[in-house]
Amino acid sequence: MKEAYLYEKKDDVKVRCFLCNHRCMIKDGARGICNVRENQGGTLVSLVYGKVIARHVDPIEKKPLFHFLPGSRSYSIATVGCNFRCLFCQNADISQMPTDRNQIWGEETSPDAIVQDALRTRSATIAYTYTEPTVFFELALDTARLATRKGVRNVFVSNGYMTEECLKEIHPDLHGANVDLKGFTDRYYKELCGAKLEPVLRTLETMVNLGIWLEVTTLLIPRQNDSREELTELAKFLVGLDPGIPWHISRFHPTYKLTHIRATPPESIRMARDIGYEVGLKYVYTGNLPGDLGEKTYCHECREILIDRYGFSVQKHAIRDGRCPKCGAEIPGVWK
Ligand code: SF4
């Protein structure tokens, strides 16, 4: 049990959490929407501090981060809990455990032990992933600060619903992020995720302004967020932030509460990729389509293949000092 960061005490033993944009007002004895932060007599506590439910050494490509130390290892951790209720969650067994089963499990660990494990496994980064890192922020922040001092960088895989206060607190120690931009309508965010679109857009802007390396993922679900119009608007928004932001378009498979919807046809994924390039993005990738041409990194100037991938495996990595070896174009990303 750990006293939460980023909350304020209110009248009548209530507290206001401002870790994420739900900004829950929580009565004594109650929990926030994420169900892992509880008001105990006027003190907000994290119920998941040091309780790691998943830890794996993954290729960084699995996050997915394609322009951040390609081919490196990422020591990846999660606790249970999430501030979203995505009907299509692929990790609902752990992300929704506190909500669906009223359970909080996890192996006891500490920031120091996590960093030591990352060093032992020669991981270049620690990834806070699988569930939503915002809701285990105290563990993530303490670990990230220690990791930076030991030469290990930190990346979030997030739904982007954290507040600006949260981002500003961690940003010197947050080196990269893949943020889901799940759709581009409020209806989608409200009905399928239990959230709002606008705060996610603000987070993307803030990350760019703070200099956190950013990649964006959109899971394409048939007839939910896959219209040409919506994808064009979404891609234009990213171009407006920075055309060098890599956009990953990922294939949906029926899961959790959306088992009645078929998998995304590969042609929809490729249409979205074409739209991304048409509106001016420089790097658009296809996800969950192993062997697809959209897994490779092509130079945005001369179309030379710079990084050849199959699934999460890097077959060739030709970028030298952040530049295309053929035409010399600067390739946005974190390369060393
Ligand atoms: S982190 Fe949890 S308690 Fe805090 S505002 Fe978000 S959902 Fe509410």
What value does the mean pLDDT take over residues 174-199? 98
23 and 30 in contact (C-beta within 8 Å)? Answer: no
Extract long-range pairs of 109-115: CB within 8 Å, 24+ residues apart. 109/50, 109/51, 109/52, 110/50, 111/139, 111/142, 111/143, 111/145, 111/146, 112/146, 114/52, 114/55, 114/75, 114/77, 114/143, 114/147, 115/143, 115/146, 115/147, 115/150, 115/152
- C-alpha atoms less than 13 angstroms from C-alpha of 189 in its C-beta half-sphere: 18
Residue 73 has pLDDT above 90, yes or no: yes
Q: Which are the contacts of 185, defined by CB distance < 8 A and separation ≥ 6?
A: 197, 225, 230
Q: Is the pTM of this model over 0.75?
A: yes
Tell me how far apart the alpha carbons of residues 332 and 247 are, in angstroms, rounded to a whole number.
13
The residue whose CA has the least distance to atom 4 of ligand 1 is 17
What value does the mean pLDDT take over residues 141-158? 98
Does ligand 1 lie within 6 Å of residue 17's CB atom? yes
What value does the mean pLDDT take over residues 87-109? 98
Confidence at residue 121, expressed as pLDDT on a 0 to 100 scale: 98
Mutate to test the pocket of ligand 1, among 14, 21, 22, 44 (most ligand atoms within 8 A of CB): 22
Provide the 10 A C-beta neighbour count for residue 41.
8
What value does the mean pLDDT take over residues 148-161? 98
Residue 148 has pLDDT above 90, yes or no: yes
How many whole angstroms from its chain centre is CA 234? 17
Confidence at residue 298, expressed as pLDDT on a 0 to 100 scale: 98
CA-angle at 305, arms to 300 and 311, nearest 5°: 110
Confidence at residue 253, expressed as pLDDT on a 0 to 100 scale: 97
131 CA from centroid of ligand 1 (Å): 14
Atom of ligand 1 nearest to the CA of 134: 1
58 CA from centroid of ligand 1 (Å): 28
Closest CA to 171 of 132, 135, 212: 212
Closest CA to 157 of 138, 176, 184, 171: 176
Residue 92 has pLDDT above 90, yes or no: yes
Residue 235 has pLDDT above 90, yes or no: yes
What value does the mean pLDDT take over residues 73-77? 98
What value does the mean pLDDT take over residues 305-317? 95
Residue 170 has pLDDT above 90, yes or no: yes
Burial (0-12, 13-18, 19+ Cβ within 10 Å), 10 = middle
Q: Tens of pLDDT along 281-305? A: 999 999 999 899 999 999 999 999 9
Residue 258 has pLDDT above 90, yes or no: yes
32 CA from centroid of ligand 1 (Å): 5
247 CA from centroid of ligand 1 (Å): 28
pLDDT band at 1 (very low <50, low <70, confident <90, very high): confident
Closest CA to 175 of 65, 46, 62, 302: 65
Confidence at residue 261, expressed as pLDDT on a 0 to 100 scale: 97
Helix-helix angle 198-210:228-241, to 10 degrees: 30
24 CA from centroid of ligand 1 (Å): 6
Confidence at residue 117, expressed as pLDDT on a 0 to 100 scale: 98
The residue whose CA has the least distance to atom 5 of ligand 1 is 23
Q: The tokens of 330 are what?
A: 């600067």
Does ligand 1 lie within 6 Å of residue 331's CB atom? no
Q: The tokens of 141 are what?
A: 């922040």
Q: Which are the contacts of 11, defined by CB distance < 8 A and separation ≥ 6?
A: none
**What's the order of all strands across the beta sheet hosting 213-220?**
54-59, 73-78, 125-128, 153-158, 176-180, 213-220, 247-251, 284-287
Tell me how far apart the alpha carbons of residues 78 and 131 are, in angstroms, rounded to a whole number.
6
39: enclosing H helix or E strand: strand 37-40
Q: What whole-number percentage of the chain has pLDDT above 70?
A: 100
Mutate to test the pocket of ligand 1, among 7, 18, 21, 37 (most ligand atoms within 8 A of CB): 37
The residue whose CA has the least distance to atom 2 of ligand 1 is 34
What value does the mean pLDDT take over residues 205-215? 98
Residue 114 has pLDDT above 90, yes or no: yes
**Dihedral-angle region of residue 23 (phi above 0 means left; psi in -120 to 50 means alpha; beta otherwise):** left
Atom of ligand 1 nearest to the CA of 33: 7
122 CA from centroid of ligand 1 (Å): 33
174 and 154 in contact (C-beta within 8 Å)? Answer: yes
Closest CA to 262 of 209, 222, 226, 205: 222
322 CA from centroid of ligand 1 (Å): 39
Does ligand 1 lie within 6 Å of residue 32's CB atom? yes
Q: The tokens of 328 are what?
A: 């010399």
Mutate to test the pocket of ligand 1, among 83, 84, 104, 134 (most ligand atoms within 8 A of CB): 83
How many whole angstroms from its chain centre is CA 147? 19
Does ligand 1 lie within 6 Å of residue 33's CB atom? yes
Q: Which residues of 99-127 are buried (b: 16+ CB within 10 A; e: fewer)?
A: beeeebebeebebeebbebbeeeebbbbb
Tell me how far apart the alpha carbons of residues 88 and 250 are, in angstroms, rounded to a whole number.
13
Tell me how far apart the alpha carbons of residues 104 and 1 are, in angstroms, rounded to a whole number.
12
Does ligand 1 lie within 6 Å of residue 34's CB atom? yes
